[in-house]
Amino acid sequence: MPNGGIDPEYDYVATLSKDKQKQWPAIVAARSDAIEVQELLTEKLRPYGSGDFDIVVFGSLARREWTSGSDVDWTMLIDGQASADHLVNSRQVQETLRSLTHKGAHFIDPGAEGIFGNMAFSHEIVHHIGGQADTNRNTTQRVLLLLEAVSLRSPGGDLGPCERVIRQVLYRYLASDSNFHTKTDQESRIPRFLLNDIVRYWRTMCVDFAYKDWEQSGKKWALRNIKLRTSRKLMFVSGLLTVFSCFQNDDLRRTTNVSEDYLLKMQEHLLKFVHATPLNIIVWAFQAAGLDDCCAELLDEYEQFLSSITLNRSHLAGLKEKGVYDDPTFLKCREISHRLQAVLNKAFVMEDTPLREFIFEYGVF
């Protein structure tokens, strides 16, 4: 069972690579390129941020898995008073991004759904968790803030809008969770409200895959399919494992009868996972569950996925849905995703570990 928490600055993948004497060059390159792109964007987009709004990036850039052809999914997250100029500012961010290049290539605009490349407002994200007003877009923005988001803010230790909103969202998940209201239990508690939202979001992504196929007439079907089976699935897995990190965690046992103290302790624990990348969370949690070998196998498969997507992104994006199952590249990527799934099955279900105990107790019903 896990104890303690994750260090969001630590490169657990690199340590595992050394321990297992394995090389994952595509993972290392993707991480290094992501850091480079993030630094470039932080510098160039500085004039478009403030203590009231942050430019936040999501997707492969935030996961530190940047490969050539990745798009920049960004939003201008506003946590301040209303101003009509926010829209002017966000348009200028778009213009600036279009003018920038990395390794000779221009950055690609976010997808056509309108979730990114736009504005997001803290009040909606914090207050509308569930209920009629929690739109698909709102859910996406909120959960992605927890699973794969990085603010383009120069380091300086101040709590910018993105960090403030993340803390508020975490606090909402904990303060509104009756699981944390009991005063007598000395066991560590599971943030079920958060867990349910993460699971709901994963299923939403899967449903939206079919919706986008319908709406966009199969455009980029193969690329979206492969991403759903690999990078998006691992993002969901990292969310599950974030919650697993609370499971029977000795360091999270309730030692005080004051609810607020306990909530803040939980919030601090979860915040560290929010700031860690999905791959580092997976390595941390698998090791905590005694699944080091599974973890190395999973990274072997993910290495293959990243290598393949680097080489074949535009080919996959251009494939028509009809006949896709005759395409050797698509089939090769699909096989990688099946092997990835097999490793996950082994880790979550087949091995007798606390992770299996957790997933049976909380992950199914």
Partner 1 sequence: MRIGFSTGSIALDDVMRGLQVATNAGTNAIELSALRENELDPLLGELDGLEDKLKPFTYISFHAPSKREKFSEEELVARLRLVAERDWAIIVHPDLIENYALWLPLGRALCIENMDKRKNFGCTAAQLRQVFDRLPEATFCFDIGHARQVDPTMQEADALLHDFHGRLRQIHMSYVNSQSLHERLNYESIVAYQRVAHWFTDSIPVILETPVSGNNIDAEILMAQQVFEHLPWYCRHQQSVEEEVSEHVQVYISHNG
Question: Does residue 49 touch partner 1 according to CB under 8 A?
Answer: yes
Q: Which of 11, 28, 50, 356 binds partner 1 (CB under 8 A)?
A: 50
For residues 102 and 61, the answer to whether their CB atoms sit within 8 Å is: no
Q: Which of 3, 22, 25, 51 binds partner 1 (CB under 8 A)?
A: 51
Give residue 13's Cα distance to chain centre: 16
Q: Which of 38, 67, 89, 245 binds partner 1 (CB under 8 A)?
A: 89
How many residues sit close enough to partner 1 to count as binding (CB under 8 A)? Answer: 18
Whole-angstrom CA distances from 333 to 134, 229, 234, 272, 301 are 34, 9, 15, 32, 10
Question: Does residue 81 touch partner 1 according to CB under 8 A?
Answer: yes
In this complex, which beta carbon is closest to partner 1, that of residue 85 or of residue 326?
85
Half-sphere exposure of 82 (CA within 13 A, CB side): 2
For residues 59 and 149, the answer to whether their CB atoms sit within 8 Å is: no
**Which of 117-135 are b and which e, b meaning 16 or more Cβ less than 10 Å from the residue's Cβ?**
bbebbbeebbeebeeeebe
Half-sphere exposure of 132 (CA within 13 A, CB side): 0
Question: Does residue 364 touch partner 1 according to CB under 8 A?
Answer: no
Question: Does residue 88 touch partner 1 according to CB under 8 A?
Answer: yes
For residues 269 and 252, the answer to whether their CB atoms sit within 8 Å is: yes
In this complex, which beta carbon is closest to partner 1, that of residue 88 or of residue 364?
88
**Which of 165-182 are b and which e, b meaning 16 or more Cβ less than 10 Å from the residue's Cβ?**
bbbbbbbbbbeebeebee
Tokens 């990078």 locate to 231
For residues 319 and 222, the answer to whether their CB atoms sit within 8 Å is: yes
Whole-angstrom CA distances from 60 to 166, 210, 214, 241, 306 are 19, 22, 25, 19, 11
Question: Does residue 346 touch partner 1 according to CB under 8 A?
Answer: no
Segment interacting with partner 1 (CB under 8 A) among 1-9, 75-83, 129-137, 265-273: 75-83
In this complex, which beta carbon is closest to partner 1, that of residue 79 or of residue 177?
79
Question: Does residue 83 touch partner 1 according to CB under 8 A?
Answer: yes
What minimum distance in Å lies between the beta carbon of 92 and partner 1?
A: 5
Of the candidates 226, 242, 201, the one whose C-alpha atom is nearest the C-alpha of residue 341 is 226
Q: Which of 4, 8, 69, 80 binds partner 1 (CB under 8 A)?
A: 80
In this complex, which beta carbon is closest to partner 1, that of residue 83 or of residue 345?
83
Number of other CB atoms surrounding residue 365 within 10 Å: 5
Give residue 164's Cα distance to chain centre: 18
Question: Does residue 262 touch partner 1 according to CB under 8 A?
Answer: no
Question: Does residue 329 touch partner 1 according to CB under 8 A?
Answer: no
Containing H/E element for 151?
strand 150-151
What minimum distance in Å lies between the beta carbon of 86 and partner 1?
A: 7
What minimum distance in Å lies between the beta carbon of 116 and partner 1?
A: 19
For residues 145 and 165, the answer to whether their CB atoms sit within 8 Å is: yes
In this complex, which beta carbon is closest to partner 1, that of residue 54 or of residue 197?
54
What minimum distance in Å lies between the beta carbon of 305 and partner 1?
A: 38
Question: Does residue 92 touch partner 1 according to CB under 8 A?
Answer: yes
Question: Does residue 155 touch partner 1 according to CB under 8 A?
Answer: no
Q: Which of 48, 58, 201, 262 binds partner 1 (CB under 8 A)?
A: 48
Question: Does residue 157 touch partner 1 according to CB under 8 A?
Answer: no
Segment interacting with partner 1 (CB under 8 A) among 45-53, 60-68, 135-143, 180-188: 45-53
Give residue 162's Cα distance to chain centre: 15
Segment interacting with partner 1 (CB under 8 A) among 76-84, 139-147, 212-220, 352-360: 76-84
Segment interacting with partner 1 (CB under 8 A) among 15-23, 79-87, 266-274, 330-338: 79-87
Q: Is the dihedral of CA 32, 34, 36, 39 positive or negative?
A: negative
What minimum distance in Å lies between the beta carbon of 51 and partner 1?
A: 3
* The 150-151 sheet, strands edge to edge: 118-121, 74-78, 53-57, 150-151
* Interface residues toward partner 1, by CB under 8 A: 46-53, 80-86, 88-89, 92
